[in-house]
């Protein structure tokens, strides 16, 4: 065997041996603690994986392997989130069956992940599109339905009038259908929702206990969007009849009814500054008042309402959009001042939030201010910041202020005013304190073929029925044509054999033809991995009681909201139904950084136009090679197929070896950071591996496997041996700690440091020949190879075998750290006089504070600074620092 790292000679062999030994099959020995490591459910794409993806899988593998070596039962499974649009589109394009396609793609992933040595238990793998899995997705859908958490109502879809199909948001670019180029319209059809709003408060509260990145928790909090405020009534002052378009009688009737609408505000303290109010265009009161208002207003409002229909809520709320609106020609009464304020209809107020109507306070709300400025409405400040002499420039929204221009409330703080006004309104019965959430119910319907069928049927009267358990799964039929139906419904609606069925009551029913969006499938897969082949239940209670929750969940921050929130919601529902032992599925969450690759762009030619934000035109690497240097711009882009800058695991393993790739991905940067892929960067790990091979080649001559039997007591060791043992034990502590913190870069650098210390020792002693040298060197080497195993498992096993040892290092125990051995003999103490560093000196580690103080004060240098000045105080930080303060 060569004394260099030559991966082609041994890596493949070890992967085969691991597979033959079924090394990574999950062990369920109930006497051991459990560890559940999981990566986000990947979607199998035809492009396969890049080394960019591996950046997530390798560190996860390191943690799982380490936990196993520490004696845990480890569950580390992998499966595929296989339903969804990309597979459906690939099926349409290639005229292939999507089920076959995703299995083929998944197999590629499996091959690639195996190639880089990831230790998954593949016996637990599944595809969310397998009937044996989606049967239980349907079963859980029913559970939600039976608990009143799944319902159907009219909701807007994106309609492509050319292709005659419903579009997903990602199929729309700049308001046009990506495929047909048609302007997308809105259409209202009945669709299925999950009532996640019922869980809003719990989803918010339980975030606190999670060991997740703070940023992600904050994004979830914002998405849930809890706000406390007051909801109160505004009475409309109906316009006098002679200016209206309808007959006197109808309008008089309306006046007699004294119509009113409710508004929601988080700033009731600013009510005296309300100079207008706004109704969302869809607000029913708009329609109610139209007959009473002057025709010119009524016409303008109708036109405005029509136009607003075309816009999405996101567009309407964009801060960059100029505010628009129209005067309704009617007024409402500000209950605090008793004065009339004009009612406007404007699309920056959304129907889906609060009450769909607001009191507008332009002095203290940006949006209202912009609107008032445009339409010439009064702006009345009613808050003054605490301590300010004058009211600063408007608008401002401080909560740290006192009320002004507010009658009897003047001088109250914002908080006092909020309370008093709420109490006053509650007393009169015109308003109440109220909590609102931004969170909306989860739209789950897709008018597509490639998804999990919704297990609902409709009888002749149109009443809904859940499909009985024993009739599950509702199979997704094989079909010839995956194109949508042309009337907006799923292609399933064109298959009579699917649509027509016998209901539980024996009568003819019609099946629901919408399928579920993929987020349903990925909201419980982590439960299924606990018991993946169960044919009687989604999973056994015993299995999830043992394995859940996931101890460490790893994936990209782009799923910060949707997937994580939905999975949390389903887990809570399952918990409420007695089907989950935990309320939160993922105890700890870690987000990996992206891998960036250098990507060539060509400078634009005469007359060529670039998209906004672009500096050049993306070109292939071949094209780049043929272009003059000054025509090229190189940029670091995310490694992805669409950028043509992908390095595949096959290429990297072929060129550098799997362990070199693994070490590089671990070592290159902290896990959460983005990294720039570089072939020079990988040389460091390769040199490290070469040195290990060389070391082991030499060590064959002196390695003593039974070094434990000859351990010498620490105090008897020579200085050099002591240094090496200390390094060995410090390395155990550091690597273990780093791996647990997911700090894989420092894990690898600790190994490298230990190898250096070891090298220095061997240089000093030459070939170990005394018993003492053989023992400490053998320990150092064995520990090094064991600690290396999670990161570079092929190399670790290979070198272990070269030392004449049997078995897989993975099956060996994780080394045990001895804190006594790791203790330093001597430490360096810094001495400051009045905060300035003046001297350093060494003392025995563990020396007490008194001794350290005496030594410090007796130092010549220190004395030269304290001479003649009395000493006021001495602060000792043991093992580190003495600070002397003179008077
Ligand atoms: C008066 C006011 C004065 C407001 C002020 C804010 C600042 P959050 O915190 O997001 O819940 N609002 C209420 N319903 C709305 C709707 N359907 N569409 C658009 N805006 C709506 O925001 C609550 C505030 O957003 C409410 O408090 C209301 O404006 C507005 F200095 O009322 B506020």
**Nearest CA-CA partner of 559 in 532, 539, 586:** 586
| pLDDT above 70 (res 847) | yes
* Contact 384 CB / ligand 1 (< 6 Å): no
- Average pLDDT over every residue of 612-616: 76
Tell me which DSSP letter residue 738 carries.
H
* Contact 180 CB / ligand 1 (< 6 Å): no
Residue 266 CA to ligand 1 centre (angstroms): 6
Atom of ligand 1 nearest to the CA of 383: 31
* Contact 359 CB / ligand 1 (< 6 Å): yes
* Contact 334 CB / ligand 1 (< 6 Å): no
pLDDT tens for 341-359 read 999 999 999 998 899 999 9
Q: What is the largest CA-CA distance in the chain?
A: 114
Residue 264 CA to ligand 1 centre (angstroms): 7
Three-state secondary-structure class, residue 511: strand
Residue 189 CA to ligand 1 centre (angstroms): 30
Distance CA 54, CA 837 (A): 47
Distance CA 700, CA 802 (A): 8
Paired tokens of 241: 């009849």
Residue 313 CA to ligand 1 centre (angstroms): 15
**Nearest CA-CA partner of 323 in 377, 375, 380:** 375
Distance CA 232, CA 265 (A): 8
Residue 645 to residues 186, 290, 452, 638: CA-CA distances in angstroms? 38, 59, 34, 8
Residue 883 to residues 778, 836, 847, 879: CA-CA distances in angstroms? 43, 9, 16, 13
- Average pLDDT over every residue of 615-631: 87
The whole-number pLDDT of residue 709 equals: 85
pLDDT tens for 261-312 read 999 999 999 999 999 999 999 999 999 999 889 999 999 999 999 988 877 7
List residues bridging with 89 in a β-sheet: none
Atom of ligand 1 nearest to the CA of 266: 27
Tell me which DSSP letter residue 229 carries.
E
Please name the residues in contact with 36: beta carbons below 8 A apart, sequence gap of 6 or more: 74, 75, 76, 547, 548, 549, 550, 551, 552
* Contact 323 CB / ligand 1 (< 6 Å): no
Residue 385 CA to ligand 1 centre (angstroms): 20
Distance CA 77, CA 717 (A): 46
Atom of ligand 1 nearest to the CA of 348: 19
Three-state secondary-structure class, residue 586: strand
Give the mutation target among 226, 228, 264 for probing the ligand 1 site: most ligand atoms within 8 A of CB: 264
Please give the span between the terminal C-alpha atoms of the chain, in angstroms, as a whole number.
70
Q: Which of 166-180, 623-637, 750-764 has the lowest mean pLDDT?
A: 166-180
Residue 594 CA to ligand 1 centre (angstroms): 37
Q: What is the dihedral sign for C-alpha 672, 673, 679, 685?
A: negative
Paired tokens of 814: 């994780």
Residue whose CA is at the smallest distance from ligand 1 atom 25: 265
Give the mutation target among 273, 353, 404 for probing the ligand 1 site: most ligand atoms within 8 A of CB: 353
- Average pLDDT over every residue of 73-84: 97
Residue 473, preceding peptide bond in cis (omega within 30° of 0): yes
* Contact 394 CB / ligand 1 (< 6 Å): no
* Contact 738 CB / ligand 1 (< 6 Å): no
- Give 814-874 as a DSSP string: PPPP-HHHHS-SEEEEEEEETTEEEEEEEEETT--HHHHHHHHHT-HHHHHHHTTS-EEEE
> Length of the chain, please?
887
- Average pLDDT over every residue of 39-53: 92
| pLDDT above 80 (res 715) | no
| H or E element that contains 543 | helix 541-547
pTM, two decimal places: 0.86
| pLDDT above 60 (res 747) | yes
Residue whose CA is at the smallest distance from ligand 1 atom 22: 266
Spacing of C-alpha 58 from chain mean position: 18
pLDDT tens for 473-490 read 999 998 877 777 777 778
Atom of ligand 1 nearest to the CA of 351: 17
* Contact 800 CB / ligand 1 (< 6 Å): no
With beta carbons less than 8 A apart as the criterion, state whether 802 and 853 touch.
Answer: no
The whole-number pLDDT of residue 436 equals: 94
Distance CA 656, CA 71 (A): 32
Paired tokens of 7: 């991966």
| pLDDT above 70 (res 243) | no
- Average pLDDT over every residue of 316-335: 91
With beta carbons less than 8 A apart as the criterion, state whether 90 and 104 touch.
Answer: no
Give the mutation target among 226, 354, 359 for probing the ligand 1 site: most ligand atoms within 8 A of CB: 354
Please name the residues in contact with 558: beta carbons below 8 A apart, sequence gap of 6 or more: none
Distance CA 517, CA 443 (A): 8
Paired sense of beta strands 445-446 and 452-453, if any: unpaired
The whole-number pLDDT of residue 718 equals: 87
| Helix (H) and strand (E) counts in the chain | 29, 34
* Contact 405 CB / ligand 1 (< 6 Å): no
Please name the residues in contact with 256: beta carbons below 8 A apart, sequence gap of 6 or more: none
Q: Around 407, how many Cα atoms within 13 Å sit in the side-chain half-sphere? A: 12
Distance CA 824, CA 714 (A): 12
Paired tokens of 98: 């999507």
Residue whose CA is at the smallest distance from ligand 1 atom 18: 349
- Average pLDDT over every residue of 690-698: 97
Three-state secondary-structure class, residue 715: helix
Please name the residues in contact with 35: beta carbons below 8 A apart, sequence gap of 6 or more: 64, 67, 68, 72, 73, 74, 75, 551
According to the 3-state scheme, what is the secondary structure of 321-374? CCCCCEEEEEEEECCCCCCEEEEEECCCCCCCCCCCEEEECCCCCHHHHHHHHH
**Nearest CA-CA partner of 579 in 539, 546, 549, 550:** 539
Paired tokens of 224: 């849930």
Residue 308: Cβ within 10 Å count:
18
**Nearest CA-CA partner of 662 in 11, 196, 163, 199:** 11
Paired tokens of 116: 């880089």
Residue whose CA is at the smallest distance from ligand 1 atom 12: 358
* Contact 317 CB / ligand 1 (< 6 Å): no
Mean per-residue pLDDT over the chain, rounded: 92
With beta carbons less than 8 A apart as the criterion, state whether 817 and 729 touch.
Answer: yes
Please name the residues in contact with 622: beta carbons below 8 A apart, sequence gap of 6 or more: none
The whole-number pLDDT of residue 167 equals: 81
pLDDT tens for 863-885 read 999 888 888 999 999 888 999 99
181 φψ region: left (φ > 0), alpha (ψ -120 to 50), beta (else): left
Residue 395, preceding peptide bond in cis (omega within 30° of 0): yes
Paired sense of beta strands 589-591 and 552-555, if any: parallel
* Contact 364 CB / ligand 1 (< 6 Å): yes
What order do you get walking across the sheet with 150-160 strand by strand? 165-167, 150-160, 185-194, 442-443
* Contact 379 CB / ligand 1 (< 6 Å): no
| pLDDT above 90 (res 730) | yes
* Contact 436 CB / ligand 1 (< 6 Å): yes
Residue 118 to residues 8, 391, 790: CA-CA distances in angstroms? 18, 64, 10
| pLDDT above 60 (res 1) | no
Atom of ligand 1 nearest to the CA of 270: 3
Atom of ligand 1 nearest to the CA of 360: 1
Give the mutation target among 263, 266, 271, 421 for probing the ligand 1 site: most ligand atoms within 8 A of CB: 266
Atom of ligand 1 nearest to the CA of 271: 1
Atom of ligand 1 nearest to the CA of 280: 17
* Contact 647 CB / ligand 1 (< 6 Å): no
Please name the residues in contact with 477: beta carbons below 8 A apart, sequence gap of 6 or more: 492, 495, 497, 498
Residue whose CA is at the smallest distance from ligand 1 atom 20: 349
Q: Around 795, how many Cα atoms within 13 Å sit in the side-chain half-sphere? A: 33
Distance CA 539, CA 528 (A): 6
Paired tokens of 180: 């047909």
Residue 423 CA to ligand 1 centre (angstroms): 20
List residues bridging with 465 in a β-sheet: 457
Atom of ligand 1 nearest to the CA of 352: 17
* Contact 350 CB / ligand 1 (< 6 Å): yes
* Contact 327 CB / ligand 1 (< 6 Å): no
According to the 3-state scheme, what is the secondary structure of 192-223? EEECHHHHHHHHHHHHHHCECCHHHHHHHHHH
| pLDDT above 90 (res 587) | yes
Please name the residues in contact with 3: beta carbons below 8 A apart, sequence gap of 6 or more: 693, 694, 696, 697
| H or E element that contains 562 | helix 562-576
The whole-number pLDDT of residue 246 equals: 55
| pLDDT above 60 (res 242) | no
Tell me which DSSP letter residue 434 carries.
E
* Contact 356 CB / ligand 1 (< 6 Å): yes
* Contact 418 CB / ligand 1 (< 6 Å): no
The whole-number pLDDT of residue 607 equals: 80
Backbone φ, ψ for residue 203 (5° rounding): -65, -30
Residue 227 CA to ligand 1 centre (angstroms): 10
Residue 317 CA to ligand 1 centre (angstroms): 12
The whole-number pLDDT of residue 205 equals: 98
212-247 in b/e form (b: 16+ CB < 10 A) is bbeebbebbeebbebeebbbbbbebbbbebeebebe
Tell me which DSSP letter residue 394 carries.
S
Distance CA 526, CA 38 (A): 8
Residue 184 CA to ligand 1 centre (angstroms): 30
| pLDDT above 90 (res 683) | yes
* Contact 346 CB / ligand 1 (< 6 Å): no
Residue whose CA is at the smallest distance from ligand 1 atom 2: 267
* Contact 648 CB / ligand 1 (< 6 Å): no
With beta carbons less than 8 A apart as the criterion, state whether 529 and 38 touch.
Answer: yes
């Amino acid at each position: 065997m060569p004394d260099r790292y030559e991966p082609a000679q041994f890596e493949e062999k070890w992967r085969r041996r691991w597979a033959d030994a079924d090394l990574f099959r999950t062990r369920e020995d109930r006497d051991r603690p459990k560890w559940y490591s999981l990566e986000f459910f990947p979607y199998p794409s035809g492009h396969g994986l890049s080394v960019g993806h591996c950046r997530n899988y390798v560190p996860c593998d390191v943690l799982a392997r380490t936990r196993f070596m520490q004696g845990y039962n480890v569950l580390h499974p992998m499966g595929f989130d296989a339903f969804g649009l990309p597979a459906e589109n690939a099926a349409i394009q290639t005229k292939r069956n999507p089920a076959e396609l995703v299995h083929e793609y998944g197999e590629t992933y499996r091959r690639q992940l195996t190639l880089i040595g990831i230790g998954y238990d593949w016996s637990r793998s599944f595809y969310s599109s397998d009937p044996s899995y989606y049967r239980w997705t349907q079963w859980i859908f029913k559970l939600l339905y039976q608990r009143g958490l799944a319902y159907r109502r009219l909701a807007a879809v994106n309609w492509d009038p050319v292709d005659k199909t419903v579009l997903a948001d990602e199929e729309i670019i700049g308001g046009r259908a990506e495929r047909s180029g048609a302007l997308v319209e809105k259409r209202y059809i009945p669709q299925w929702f999950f009532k996640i709003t019922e869980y809003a408060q719990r989803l918010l509260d339980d975030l606190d206990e999670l060991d997740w990145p703070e940023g992600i928790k904050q994004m979830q909090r914002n998405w849930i969007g809890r706000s406390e405020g007051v909801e109160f009534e505004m009475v409309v002052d109906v316009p006098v009849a002679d200016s209206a378009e309808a007959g006197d009688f109808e309008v008089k009737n309306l006046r007699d009814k004294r119509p009113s609408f409710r508004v929601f505000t988080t700033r009731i303290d600013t009510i005296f500054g309300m100079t207008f109010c706004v109704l969302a265009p869809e607000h029913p009161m708009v329609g109610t008042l139209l007959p009473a208002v002057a025709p010119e207003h009524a016409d303008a409002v109708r036109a405005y309402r029509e136009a607003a229909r075309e816009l999405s809520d996101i567009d309407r709320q964009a801060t960059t959009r100029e505010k628009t609106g129209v005067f309704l020609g009617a007024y409402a009464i500000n209950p605090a001042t008793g004065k009339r304020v004009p009612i406007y209809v404007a699309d920056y107020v959304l129907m889906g939030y609060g009450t769909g109507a607001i009191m507008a306070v332009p002095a203290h709300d940006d949006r209202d201010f912009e609107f008032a400025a445009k339409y010439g409405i009064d702006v009345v400040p009613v808050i003054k910041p605490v301590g300010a002499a004058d009211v600063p420039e408007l608008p401002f929204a401080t909560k740290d202020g006192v009320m002004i221009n507010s009658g009897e409330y003047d001088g109250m703080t914002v908080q006092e005013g909020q309370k008093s006004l709420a109490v006053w309104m509650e007393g009169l019965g015109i308003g109440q304190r109220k909590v609102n959430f931004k969170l909306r119910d989860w739209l789950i319907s897709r008018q597509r073929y490639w998804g999990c069928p919704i297990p609902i049927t409709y009888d002749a009267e149109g009443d809904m029925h859940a499909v009985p358990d024993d009739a599950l799964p509702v199979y997704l039929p094989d079909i010839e044509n995956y194109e949508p139906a042309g009337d907006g419904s799923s292609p399933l609606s064109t298959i009579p054999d699917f649509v027509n069925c016998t209901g539980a009551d024996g009568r003819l029913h019609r099946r629901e033809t919408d399928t579920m969006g993929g987020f349903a499938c990925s909201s419980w897969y982590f439960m299924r991995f606990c018991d993946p082949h169960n044919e009687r239940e989604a999973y056994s209670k015993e299995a999830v009681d043992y394995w859940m929750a996931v101890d460490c969940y790893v994936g990209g921050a782009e799923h910060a909201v949707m997937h994580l929130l939905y999975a949390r919601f389903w887990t809570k529902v399952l918990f409420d139904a007695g089907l989950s032992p935990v309320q939160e599925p993922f105890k700890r969450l870690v987000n990996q950084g992206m891998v960036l690759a250098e990507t060539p762009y060509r400078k634009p030619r005469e007359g060529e136009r670039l998209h906004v934000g672009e500096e050049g035109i993306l070109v292939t690497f071949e094209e780049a090679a043929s272009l003059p240097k000054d025509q090229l711009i190189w940029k670091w882009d995310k490694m992805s197929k669409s950028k043509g800058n992908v390095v595949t695991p096959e290429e990297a393993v072929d060129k550098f070896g799997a362990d070199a790739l693994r070490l590089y991905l671990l070592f290159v940067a902290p896990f959460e950071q983005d990294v720039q892929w570089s072939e020079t960067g990988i040389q460091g790990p390769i040199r490290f591996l070469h040195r290990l091979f060389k070391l082991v080649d030499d060590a064959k001559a002196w390695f003593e496997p039974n070094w434990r039997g000859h351990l010498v007591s620490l105090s008897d060791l020579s200085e050099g041996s002591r240094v090496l043992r200390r390094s060995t034990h410090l390395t155990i502590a550091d690597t273990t700690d780093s791996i647990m913190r997911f700090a894989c870069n420092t894990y690898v650098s600790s190994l490298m440091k230990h190898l250096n210390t070891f090298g220095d020792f061997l240089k000093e002693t030459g070939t170990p020949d005394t018993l003492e040298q053989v023992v400490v060197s053998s320990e150092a080497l064995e520990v090094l190879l064991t600690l290396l195993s999670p990161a570079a498992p092929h190399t670790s096993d290979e070198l272990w075998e070269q030392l004449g040892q049997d078995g897989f290092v993975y099956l060996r125990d994780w080394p045990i750290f001895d804190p006594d051995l790791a203790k330093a003999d001597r430490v360096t103490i810094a001495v400051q006089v009045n905060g300035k560093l003046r001297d350093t000196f060494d003392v025995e580690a563990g020396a007490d504070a008194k001794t350290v103080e005496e030594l410090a004060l007796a130092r010549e240098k220190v004395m030269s600074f304290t001479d003649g000045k009395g000493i006021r105080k001495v602060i000792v930080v043991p093992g580190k620092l003495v600070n002397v303060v003179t008077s």
